[in-house]
Amino acid sequence: MTLQFTIHATDGGARSGEIATAHGVIRTPAFMPVGTAATVKGMHPEAVAATGADIILGNTYHLMLRPGAERIARLGGLHQFMHWNRPILTDSGGFQVMSLAALRTLTEASVTFKSHIDGTMWELSPERAIEIQHLLGSTITMVLDECTPYPVSADQAERSMQLSMRWAARSKAAFVPRAGYGLFGIVQGSTIAKLRQESVAALTEIGFDGYAIGGLAVGEGQAEMFRVLDFTVPAMPADKPRYLMGVGKPEDIVGAVLRGVDMFDCVIPTRSARFGRAYTSMGEINIRNARHADDPRPLDEHSTSPVCRNYSRAYLHHLFKADEMLGPMLLTLHNLHYYQELMAGLRAAISERCLEAHVAGLKAAWQKGDIAPLTS
């Protein structure tokens, strides 16, 4: 294998550890900010790193359309192109292609689809998806899969999963092993235990550096997602990283960490910030609400975020009301900082074997919520 994963501590089903890569160490459990088009929206790479992020995510589908994998390769690869010298994981594009259901044609060989940008036709095969990620210089490459929609019939879920397993084998054959670079397989099977377990077995036989759980966070709800994790994660190799794709809100991440998941990505902290929603130790805050207009407090008095050190709720409220671009930028910085603080706290609690008490404290604070200050 080409990546080294070391588990340093466990607490129940949760693990804390490190993934050693060609571009540095990833501390787990890890949250990966999403940089779909070679940028985390509204953030300098240095600022993303300063939040504590060890790794970010890019996207094969978007980068193949614009500016193109070959162009990025000529310009020195994705790390140099976007000025990020830490690990990058690239999603193979399966989820994005799934979302284009009316514009795609799926066959055994590949998927053809119309670009959402200009309507031109493109073809993506497992081999081409791996080639694109190689051109990008991705630290962690993902196999091409079909992200099974939800809800779906058992027959359709099985056909989709089996196609993804055949594509996983082709992806593995096309991957060029290099020290410090890795390839992850993706478990599919919808919400059906038998299919998920068959998928894990097939991927384990092929052999990957890590194993992702796909086909969740697609509308099934938190309770159903946790139910699927309860029978999927125990079947996965214990000595490899486990990655839950596209998740999620803080409470989703905490629940998945308790079940043994090591890696996460989601657009929620950055997308929510653009609409005025902040994540804090007291839960979610909508900074557009009028109650913040005269509030001199920081977003979160318990946070070490530079936004909380330097800006009041009143100022942030003003920026959003005035439609100033600095508002979404500052809230993006805050949200990413909060997510990294959340992950650091989980890692520390696992190492100290006090995760249950730590999670109980998190949940109690979220349930209590953001309380307005007393006024005279």
pLDDT tens readout for residues 13-59: 999 999 999 999 999 999 999 999 999 999 999 999 999 999 999 99
Strand pairing of 88-91 and 56-59?
parallel
pLDDT tens readout for residues 71-113: 999 999 999 999 999 999 999 887 877 777 667 889 999 999 8
Average pLDDT over residues 280-308: 97
Of 91, 145, 295, 370, the catalytic one is 91
- Is 265 a residue of the active site? yes
Strand pairing of 111-114 and 4-11?
unpaired
376 falls in which pLDDT band (50, 70, 90)? Answer: very low
Of 54, 265, 300, 370, the catalytic one is 265
pLDDT tens readout for residues 352-365: 999 999 999 999 99
Residue by residue, DSSP assigns 164-179 as HHHHHHHHHHH----T
Q: Which residues pair with 21 in a beta bridge?
A: 24
Where do the domains of the chain lie?
A: 4-265, 272-367
CATH fold, domain 4-265, is TIM Barrel (3.20.20)
Question: What per-residue confidence (pLDDT) applies to 102?
Answer: 62
- Is 54 a residue of the active site? no
Average pLDDT over residues 262-285: 98
pLDDT tens readout for residues 145-180: 999 989 999 999 999 999 999 999 999 999 999 999
Q: Which amino acid, one-letter code, is at 229?
A: L
Q: Which residues pair with 59 in a beta bridge?
A: 91
Largest CA distance in the chain: 70
